[in-house]
Each structure stands twice: as structure tokens, then as C-alpha cells.
Structure 1
Amino acid sequence: MSKQSLSLPRAAVSRRPKVPLTKPLRHRRYRQLWLANLVSNLGTWTQTFASAWLIATVSTSASTSTLVQTATYIPVFLFALFAGVIADAVHRPKFLFFCNCFMALCACALALLVNTGHAAAGPVLAITFCIGSGSAFMWPAWQASMSGLVETDEVEAAATLNNLSYNVAAIVGPAMGGVLFSWIGPGALFLINAISFVGLLGVYAVWWRESTAPVIVRTSFASSLKLGLSSALGCHRYRRILVNVSTVFFSTIAFAGLLPVFVKNVLHMNSSIFGLLMGSLGIGAVGGALLLPTVRQYVGKTRLLAASLFVYGIMLMTLPFLHTVALMVPLIMAAGMAWSATVSTLNAAAQLAFPPAIRARTLSIYLFVMAGGYALGSLVWGRVADHFGVQAALAAAGACVMLNAVALLTGKRETSI
């Protein structure tokens, strides 16, 4: 999107057709995967909560606590490019089945580790890295598959629905974890995550049996990787998307990485409050997903992204100086609405940029940049928190998010999408 398109009259933008949020669910396979993935996301969020709070309780260092996010996303940074090539060269339902099997087994191993009394930071982070590795290989194939199950005009709605699934789980998972953590312990929560894969594995197994393996033109790994890289990096618009992805995710990871330390060491509150604040982001994101189809009729993508980042940045800059949960919850909910718009806008733009034949490879570059931003950001904000305090780190991250929003609106650098 050029700088000139940012000044289009309202009438020009309002001609965008409204695609109902539920329209992609009319496709049977998409609907099955979406429902099964909702359950799996619930398990993922339960484990995310349990891992973050467990590490925060066994370590007083902010850097160590943020390593949960690093261990989750650094595998994506390391393996996503290779995973994209593989995803375009295999039978995807079969491939996704085995990726999810691996992650379920890792969740079982994490539960066993805790229940046998070996839940030190190192082993927990190591298994978290393994689960992240499974996600790294799964995500390009998953996103390319999901966008291929709906019509082109439904991709944005499908991306919003996928984000809605993730955020509905983000409400229930942390809330459930906050209540159950001290009652049944983290080991049982990790086991819940393992069980949550069962439905998704069943859908993949049926899809694998019913579908015919596609005819794939065999090329060398190096040639396939080169084609994906040249396609993605040679596209001016896609490079703009990647610039936004790198800066946005670098800054926003501060919330997830530092929230357990903020609750424990600054607010001096327990796991239930941590779960409540995590869930508040999910509640807002669900509300945002429901409003997005209408908002997109009247607001261009770049302005929507900029406004969303502005709201999220305000939350990060304000949160550290609040000490009343009643004020924190609505603030985080507003940021959740903004986060839903941010993720679905960037993700849909990436999915629509290239044809299905190379979509997994180009999406793997999107995931590579996203994970690099997450991994580097979690390390940086953890170190900033150790040296200057958690509150200063959150405020600084918020300032970075707002700078990105200003850059989008002013067009001083090529960041529009």
C-alpha cells in the first residue's frame, strides 16, 4: 500500500465487501480443523500459563522467566525456513499428524518431569524448546493448509477465526490454570495439554485417509528454498509486511515475557491474578475478532494496524504504574482487541501474498521473522528488566510499539501493508 493510498477518501475504503466472520465455517474440513484446534489451543494456553508461572516461582531473575518465550520461539527462528520447504513437498495431513504426535509426546514428557520432582528451569526449558520445534515444522503447513480450505475472499475472515480460536483458549486456559495450579499442580496441567491433541490428531488421521496425496514436482531442497526466498524477498509488498512483523513482535513479546515477573515481584500477587490478567487479553481479543469484519469495511489495513499498535503501546506504557487489578483488566482487554486486529491483519496479508504452490515456503519466512522478533525481544526485555526493573522494561517496550504505529501513519519508512 503506497503512501498515497493512506489518504483515500472514506467512500473508497467503504466499498470493501463485508465477509461474515463465520463464512469460512461452511467448509466442512475447515470447520473440523477449527474446532479441534480450539481444544488444542486450550491445552497450549494451559501449558503456557503453567510453564511461565513455574519458572517464575523457581527463579527470581526476569531474564530466566522470559526464557520461556525464547525457548518457545527460537526453534521457529531456527527451523521455519526448512519447514516451509518440507511443507510444500509432502502430503500435509500426514505431515501435520506426525508433528502433533511429537508435540503431544513432549507434553507427556513435561508432565512426567514435573511429577518425578525434576522441574528445574533447565529441563523445563529444554522440553519447551522441543515443543517449539514441533510448532516450527507444523505452522507453515498448518497456515498454508487452512488458507487453502477456503475461498480467496474468505482468507481474512479465516485468519480472524483462527486468531479467535487462539484467544478464546487464551481466556479459558490461563483462568483454569490460575485456579488449578496450586490445587493439582503443573504436572496435571501439562498432561491436559497432551490430551488436548487427541481431537486434532483424529481429524488429521481422517483427512489423511480421505485425501489423495498431491502430485508434487520434486526439486532439490536448495532449489526449493531459493525459490521461496527469492519470491518473498523479491516482492516489495511482502518485504513491507516482514518489516512490520519484525518490529511489532520484538516489542509486544514484553507483555507475555514479563507479566509473570510483574505479578509476582511487583504486585506481590499469586497465580490466580496472573491467570486473570492473561485471560483479560484473550477476552479483548475475542471481542476484537467479532468487530473486525465491520471495521475492515471502513478502515484500510495500514490505518487499522497503526491504530491497533497505538492502543497496545498505551497498555504497555500504562500497566507498570497501576497497582489495582480493577484498572488493569479493562486496559488489558482493550489491548487484546488491538492485538486481535494486529495479528489477523498481518497474517492475512502474508497468506494472500502468494499462490498455494509456494505459500508454505513464503509463510515460513513470515514465521521466521516473527519468531526472530519474539526470541530476540524476550531476551532483550528480560535483560532490560534485570538492569532497570520490570516496570521500566514494559514502558520501554510500549514506547517501541508506539513508534512503529507512528512510522506506519507518517510513511517516513516503507512500513505500510
Structure 2
Amino acid sequence: MLQASTSPADDTPPVSALSPFRFPVFRSIWFASVASNLGGLIQTVGAAWMMTSIAKSADMVALVQTSVALPIVLLSLFAGAMADSLDRRKVMLGAQVFMLVVSTALTVCAWMGLITPWLLLMFTFLIGCGAAFNGPAWQASVGDMVPRAHLAGAVAINSMGFNIARSVGPAIGGAIVAAAGAAAAFAVNAASYIALIAVLSRWRPVRPPQLLPRETLGIAVAAGIRYVSMSPSIRRVLLRGAVFGMGASSIMALLPLVAKDLLTGGPLMYGLLLGAFGVGAVGGALSSARLRQRLSSEGLTRAACVAFAIAAAVTGVSNWSPLTVTMMMIAGASWVLALSTFNVSVQLSTPRWVVARALSLYQVTTFGGMAAGSWLWGVISESDGVRLALFAAALVMAICAALGLRLPLSESADLNLDPLRRWQAPETAVPVEARTGPVVITIEYRIREEDVLEFLAVMAERRRIRKRDGAMNWMLLRDLADPAVWVERYAAPTWLEYIRHNNRMTQEDADIPQRLHELHQGPGYPTVKRMIERQTGALPAGHVSTSHDLAEPLTDPSRSS
């Protein structure tokens, strides 16, 4: 049985490029995931080749790639909500078993000669759905497998593993299809899930106790979107990721044309360039730990963007294959360094209760940028040539680097996003249930005139945290009769959501209530009142009074808010 990794508070080995491999859980799942990714790429090659033989339209061949990627864009946010609400291990296990079943069915249908173009697209779309649900859970689980100090290295190694599979997978897939047909490629993919299913079945991560009922899917999705929208550091990552994805997609989208038109080569040259990109990705992952010790997250991202821009521009003017191969290695290293930095920035800026949703939104924006970029570079190369498309992509990468001057990535390694755990649900004189609401909360402060500007500045951050964690209709009021009196007011849709809201405060947020308490000049802590809205007018016939109809304030003299 695989136990959870050593906790961040324990003694851990020194950070290096390969130090995450010292943790057995991460090591086992990583190797099994590489095998699964390799199988997936082999399956994609088999599907694309089979489509060329059973479909009359080239559009159907192109739709194979679309059917694999589309579920990631459509389902990632829902998958992230499930990964945050449920046991992530079980989500991954369920996704892998689902893909095994679908891949087995695809193999059987292919062997029996039952595959039609639309049936093949259906199977590949379903496999893509499984991958979409597996992705956020897997990425969010990395923080459960290795301590926080090793998270950046683990994410880089994950990216390295995928690029290793991408470098050799198409070649292996092509060889399998040539030797035994597309059905054999489908069978290899089905078998590739078995190792990961076995490892996940043995893993027993330590999960924190669930003290509150799980959120419904809709509420969980809304909470994830709200958290990201009210977190400036994560919004910056999403924007930079989208721009980078748009520019970086140029290499992979135009690589066949580079091999054919610029280097006058064939499939062998294309494979060589693809392999060079993969080698560069491995090198980038292995050098990431050393580079992170010398450069900030923003510095590393800018360097990767500039290096990729140079690689794209030089590729556009090069007719010499050794130079182009070198540029592909630089592009591969830049690809891994930038995307792993974005991924780590999201994870280190997000508490564990919402990390999968934040990662899924990052994935949607980055994949969306890649999809838009692939289409854009194809259009430009069709009308103006491959060289101009690569020059335009280099310009986009330069813009991504320049965005760091205005929208730099935050340094989040030292943030303590563990739950604050100071708040306790108060006793109320009026009976309340989980569904009781809406709940209105007011907090009264007495502030000296000379402290008003500082108070307003602190309240601006208070407002962001409140709304980020689920508060509704937040406002700040000043008493016209007594200017020293200020009232913070917000609402929660139900008593349960009010409890969730207060339990989401992190150690990093603790400074805000402390500063407000210091600014408060009244006796004791600021006065907190909790109230529920009531209906007015006559109650309808047969109505039974519930706690929803009560008007009494739910007051408590404690410091909780």
C-alpha cells in the first residue's frame, strides 16, 4: 500500500531537479502516468490513420484532434469542481477505469471492422472526456504527494514526462500501426491504463476531515470562478498563460510545414524536429530547479518567452537543419519552463479547497490560447507563408514577456494558505438550519478621524477577501449621526454558506482582522450582528412558520464575524 508523502512540516530532502522522485507515491504515479500518456498518443496516431482509410473528407481526419482536445475546454471546470469536492484519488481512478472501458470497446469494434467515422470520433471524444476529468485531479494531487518546497520541481517533471511521451509516442504509434494496424494501437492504449489504475488503487492519501456537507456541482463551479476572479495574482497567470499558449502553439502547429517547406525534408525530418523539441523539454525540466534558485518566477517566465521568441524567429529564417534542430531544443525547454512556472504559481497562490478549480481555469485559458493560436498561425501561413507566421508568433511571445512589466507574476512560495481555524459557528437564540437564509451580517467599528484613510485601505482588502470567499452584497456604511461609527455589511445565501465563508479564511488573511481590531477604538472587539431576512405581509393560508420567517438578530458578542 502506498502511503501519503511526508508532510511539508517534516524534514525533507534538499530541493533538486529530481528530488520529487524521492517520494514513493509521486514516483510510482509519475511512471504510470507517462505510460498512460504514451498509450494515449499511440491511440491518437492510430485513430488519425484509421480515419484516413474510412473517411472521404480531410475534415474528418482533422476532427480526430478536435475530438480529443474539445472535452478539455468544455469539461475542465466541472472536473476541477469534482476534484475539489470529492476524493481526488477516486476521481482519477474513475477517469482511468472509464478510459480503459472505452478504449477496450474501441479496440473490439476496430478488430471486428465495425468502426465508422462518426463512431471513431465518438470513442475519441469519450476518451478525451476521461482525460479532461483526470487532468485537474492529477495536477491538484501533486501537492498531496510532495511537500510544498518540491512542488515546482514535481510540476516540471510532470511536464517533462508528457513531453517524453509526446516525443516518442507518435513514432511508436506509427510503427505499431504499420506493423499490426490501428486496432493494435488501440489495444496498446487500453493496456497502458492498467499500471496507473493499479497504483491509484494502492495509494491511500491522508485527507483532512470533511466537517461540512459537500457543495453541489453548480455552487462549486461558481465558487471556483469567483475565487479566481477576485484573486489578482491568479488572474495575471491566466492572462499570461493564454498569451503564451497562443504564441507557443505556433511551433507545434507549423512544424510539419517547417520540415517540408523550409528544410525541404520529409517525415524523417519532421520526426527529428519533434524529437529535438522533446529533448529540449526534458532539459528544461532538469534545469528548472537550478534556474528557480537564481531567477524569480517572473524572471524565469520572461526569459522563457524571449527564448521562445528567438527560437520562432530564427526557425522562420533558417534553411539549415542543425540550426533549426537547435532552435527546437530551445523552444522545448522554454515551453516546459514557462508552463510549469504558470502551473506552480496557480498552485502556490490557491488554498487546497479550491486548487483543482483554479488549475482547471488555468488549463482552459491556456488550451484556449493554444487552440486560437493554432488556427491563427494556420490562416497566416496559408495566406502569407510559414515564415511570416513564425515571425508573428515571435512577436506575440515578445508581447507576453513585455506584459511582465505591468502584470508580473507574484512570488507565492512563502504564502501560508492553510486554514486559519479560529472561527467557530456561534450559538444563536433563534434556531437555524443549514438552509436558513439569507443571512445578513453587520460588524460595527469605531474609528478615529486620523485613522480613516488607513481603515479604508484595509477595508478595500477586506472587501476582496470577503467577496472571494463567497460574501454577497458587501458594503461599507458610515453613521451620519456619529462619524466615528462605521458598519461593514454583507450577506450569505444560507447559514451553511456563511459557515463555509468563514472557514475559508487562511493564515495569510489573518493580518486583516488583526489590523481592523487595532484600528477599532471601542471597548472589546467590533460588534457583530447576524440576522436573517424575513417575509413581510400576511402569511398564506396553511403556511407553517420556519426559521426563514424569523426577524430576530442572531447576535453574538464574540470576535467571530
Q: Tell me the TM-score normalized by structure 1.
A: 0.83
Give yes or no for contact 2:262–2:318 (8 Å, CA) kept in 1.
no
Amino acid at match of 2:140: A
Deviations 1:198-227 (A, max 9, x none): 10011122236x877963632232322222
Amino acid at match of 2:94: F
Match of 1:405 among 395, 401, 406: 401
Residue 414, structure 1, aligned to residue 407, structure 2: yes
Give yes or no for contact 1:30–1:150 (8 Å, CA) kept in 2.
yes
Give yes or no for contact 1:312–1:401 (8 Å, CA) kept in 2.
yes
Write out aligned runs for 1:198-213 (5 A).
198-207=194-203
1:222 aligns to what?
A: 218
182-191 or 286-295: bigger deviation: 182-191
2:364 aligns to what?
A: 368
Match of 1:104 among 84, 94, 100: 100
Go from structure 1 to structure 2 and tell me whether the alpha carbon gap of 1:94 and 1:121 turns closer, same or farther (over 3 Å shift): same
Per the alignment, in what secondary structure is the counterpart of residue 356 of structure 1?
coil
Give yes or no for contact 2:35–2:192 (8 Å, CA) kept in 1.
yes
Q: Name the structure where helix makes up a greater proportion of residues.
A: 1
Cα displacement (A) at 1:268: 6.0
Write out aligned runs for 1:300-379 (5 A).
300-379=296-375
Deviations 1:208-267 (A, max 9, x none): 6x8779636322323222221121111111111111111111222232233335545765
Amino acid at match of 2:165: A
Go from structure 1 to structure 2 and tell me whether the alpha carbon gap of 1:350 and 1:292 turns closer, same or farther (over 3 Å shift): same
Give yes or no for contact 1:172–1:279 (8 Å, CA) kept in 2.
yes
Give yes or no for contact 2:91–2:133 (8 Å, CA) kept in 1.
no
Write out aligned runs for 1:15-414 (5 A).
19-49=15-45, 69-108=65-104, 125-177=121-173, 179-207=175-203, 215=210, 217-263=213-259, 269-408=265-404, 411=405, 413-414=406-407
1:13 aligns to what?
A: none
Per the alignment, in what secondary structure is the counterpart of residue 146 of structure 2?
coil
Give yes or no for contact 1:267–1:323 (8 Å, CA) kept in 2.
yes
Deviations 1:380-407 (A, max 9, x none): 3333333334443333223212221233
Give yes or no for contact 1:178–1:273 (8 Å, CA) kept in 2.
no
Go from structure 1 to structure 2 and tell me whether the alpha carbon gap of 1:35 and 1:112 turns closer, same or farther (over 3 Å shift): same
The CA distance in 1 between the partners of 2:331 and 2:347, in whole Å, is 24
146-155 or 161-170: bigger deviation: 161-170
Go from structure 1 to structure 2 and tell me whether the alpha carbon gap of 1:366 and 1:395 turns closer, same or farther (over 3 Å shift): same
Between the two proteins, the alignment pairs up a number of residues equal to 397
Go from structure 1 to structure 2 and tell me whether the alpha carbon gap of 1:105 and 1:28 turns closer, same or farther (over 3 Å shift): same
Report the aligned-residue RMSD: 3.3
Deviations 1:110-131 (A, max 9, x none): 5567667788876655543332
Give yes or no for contact 1:22–1:157 (8 Å, CA) kept in 2.
yes
Per the alignment, in what secondary structure is the counterpart of residue 190 of structure 2?
helix
Amino acid at match of 2:89: P
1:10 aligns to what?
A: none
Give yes or no for contact 2:314–2:324 (8 Å, CA) kept in 1.
no
Deviations 1:265-324 (A, max 9, x none): 765644443332222111111111111111111111111111111222222233244444
Cα displacement (A) at 1:108: 4.3
Q: Any unmatched runs of 5+ in structure 1?
A: 1-16
Q: Name the structure where strand makes up a greater proportion of residues.
A: 2
Q: Tell me the TM-score normalized by structure 2.
A: 0.63
The CA distance in 2 between the partners of 1:49 and 1:193, in whole Å, is 11
28-37 or 127-136: bigger deviation: 127-136
Give yes or no for contact 1:314–1:402 (8 Å, CA) kept in 2.
no
Identity %, equivalent residues: 33
154-163 or 90-99: bigger deviation: 90-99
Q: Any unmatched runs of 5+ in structure 2?
A: 1-12, 411-561
Q: Which has the higher contact order (CA 8 A, sep 6+)?
A: 1
